A = this chain, B = another copy of it.
Amino acid sequence: MGRRGLTRSEIIDATWDLAAQRGLAAVTMRSVAEQLDVTPMALYRHIGDKQGLLDGLVERLHGEIPIPDAALPWRERLTLLAGGIRAVARKHPDLFPLLFHRPAVTPAAQRPRETAYAALREAGLAEDDVVRAERLLSTFILGFAASEAGGRFGRLDAEAEYAYAAGLIEMILTK
């Protein structure tokens, strides 16, 4: 005990490790503080309250989404992006629903979005449609990934469903 120089990013690091290893339920002010060898109250100055801890997790979650190589064809970039988001959902099923609870305006959230914008522009969409289509795609992918990771799909074949959806989206983008 008695540490000094605690920083926000150090706290969020510890929070992320705890969540990744022992699940969201294991993330408490007390457990995070213990991991950092400080008292729970030491956290408040740096992260506000527990919601601040969760906001940090949302940032990290966005940062986990792999950004596909810009040299690849746009279709492949979109497919890889969607696949990456599903993979994040499967790896962090309990954290993933947090993405619905905050506007995706942080820098970490911007990178996947800009990647999608660029791909949709290359696909030939008008600038207005690019923004709308990105929201449609991200909403669908988020809903799909959350359904899959959360168990809403039950025992059914998510892969076949995903292929069907991808086919229709492909049709829209190349109409």
Contacts and interface: CB of A to CB of B under 8 A. Distances in A.
A100 B132 contact: no
Contacts of A102: 150-152
Interface string A90-129: 0000000101111111000000000000000000000000
Given A143-B139, A144-B139, A172-B172, A164 B132 contact: yes
A171 interface: yes
Interface in A129-169: 132, 135-136, 139-140, 142-144, 146-147, 150-156, 160-161, 164-165, 168
Number of copies: 2
Interface residues of A, number: 33
Given A139-B143, A140-B143, A172-B171, A152 B97 contact: no
Interface of A: 97, 99-105, 132, 135-136, 139-140, 142-144, 146-147, 150-156, 160-161, 164-165, 168, 171-172, 175
